[in-house]
């Protein structure tokens, strides 16, 4: 794995979270626990430019979501519950408890931020503070889908097609899939460390990854929306402090009002734009740290 080069001083951990499910993580630093969750089509390697600074103040735990990286990739079921954000959030809670942390802070990007949202909703006693990067709530984004959004986020609608169509196309050339998805964003491929890009491509080629990432999106377009709607009907809103940041060059900024959307589902929200596109931790690590470190502090 190239992540040992990207995260010097961090140790690997492989933690069983459910029968037949193990989650790959790295742990480094000291202090209060901080859980880092990545997005699509990436792995925990996205944090390599900010993790060393975060580890000066926190015990950093960076995980690969189920279906991604070197974590388990179970087969999906009929309602895609194996990849619901509720199930993926339970993985992360189990990881933190296995490491001895009953309460913790969360910093999460993209798909990982959707897992973090469900983690905070289902287990509010565990999440002290949460920072989410470049997303609006899933339900709001689907409900407000426009032509502009659909063209830019084409993969949302490609990946939810019934198996095995998208899996077969991704598996035909996983490296090209990474280049096409990531390279078409505002920053292009130049924003990525070549070692990190190789890691993303390696993991996309692993058996089961194509199916896992498709199931993640299929769940988001189905069972996850059911869970989100149930929260709305019950009047449940996130109560912990929430920081929402998004790239001023990105699609989320162009198509949505993230701060407004998060204020609809959370009680204590702050945030704004950063001078970058979608891949905030890799495009604007210093700007991210300037916003996140004061927020996470007690």
Question: Catalytic: which of 64, 70, 91, 110?
Answer: 110
| Residue 148 falls in the annotated catalytic set | no
Nearby residues of 173 by Cβ (< 8 Å), 6 or more positions away? none
| Residue 40 falls in the annotated catalytic set | no
Q: How many CB atoms lie within 10 A of CB 61?
A: 26
| Cβ proximity of 57 and 29 under 8 Å | yes
Question: Catalytic: which of 38, 44, 253, 278?
Answer: 278
Sign of CA dihedral 171, 177, 181, 182: positive
Nearby residues of 100 by Cβ (< 8 Å), 6 or more positions away? none
| DSSP codes of every residue in 217-237 | HHHHTTHHHHHHHHHHHHT--
Q: How many CB atoms lie within 10 A of CB 55?
A: 20
- Which active-site residues does the annotation give? 110, 278
């Amino acid at each position: 794995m190239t992540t040992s080069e990207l995260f010097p001083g961090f140790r690997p951990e492989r933690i069983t979270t459910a029968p037949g499910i193990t989650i790959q993580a790295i742990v480094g630093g000291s202090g209060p626990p901080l859980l880092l969750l990545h997005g699509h089509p990436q792995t925990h390697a996205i944090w390599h430019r900010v993790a060393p600074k975060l580890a000066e103040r926190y015990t950093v735990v960076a995980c690969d979501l189920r279906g991604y990286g070197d974590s388990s990739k179970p087969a999906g079921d009929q309602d895609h519950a194996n990849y619901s954000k509720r199930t993926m959030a339970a993985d992360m809670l189990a990881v933190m408890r296995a490491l001895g942390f009953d309460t913790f802070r969360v910093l999460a990007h993209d798909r990982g931020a959707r897992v973090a949202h469900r983690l905070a909703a289902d287990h509010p006693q565990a999440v002290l503070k949460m920072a989410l990067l470049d997303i609006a709530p899933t339900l709001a984004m689907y409900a407000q889908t426009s032509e502009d959004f659909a063209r830019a986020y084409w993969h949302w609608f490609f990946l939810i097609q019934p198996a095995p169509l998208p899996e077969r196309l991704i598996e035909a050339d996983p490296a090209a899939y990474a280049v096409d998805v990531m390279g078409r964003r505002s920053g292009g491929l130049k924003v990525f460390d070549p070692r990190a890009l190789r890691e993303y491509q390696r993991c996309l080629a692993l058996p089961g990854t194509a199916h896992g990432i498709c199931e993640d999106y299929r769940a988001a377009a189905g069972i996850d929306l059911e869970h989100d709607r149930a929260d709305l009907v019950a009047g449940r809103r996130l109560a912990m402090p929430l920081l929402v940041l998004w790239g001023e060059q990105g699609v989320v900024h162009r198509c949505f009002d993230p701060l407004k959307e998060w204020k609809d589902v959370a009680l204590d929200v702050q945030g704004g734009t950063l001078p970058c596109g979608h891949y905030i931790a890799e495009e604007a690590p210093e700007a991210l740290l300037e916003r996140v470190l004061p927020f996470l502090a007690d």
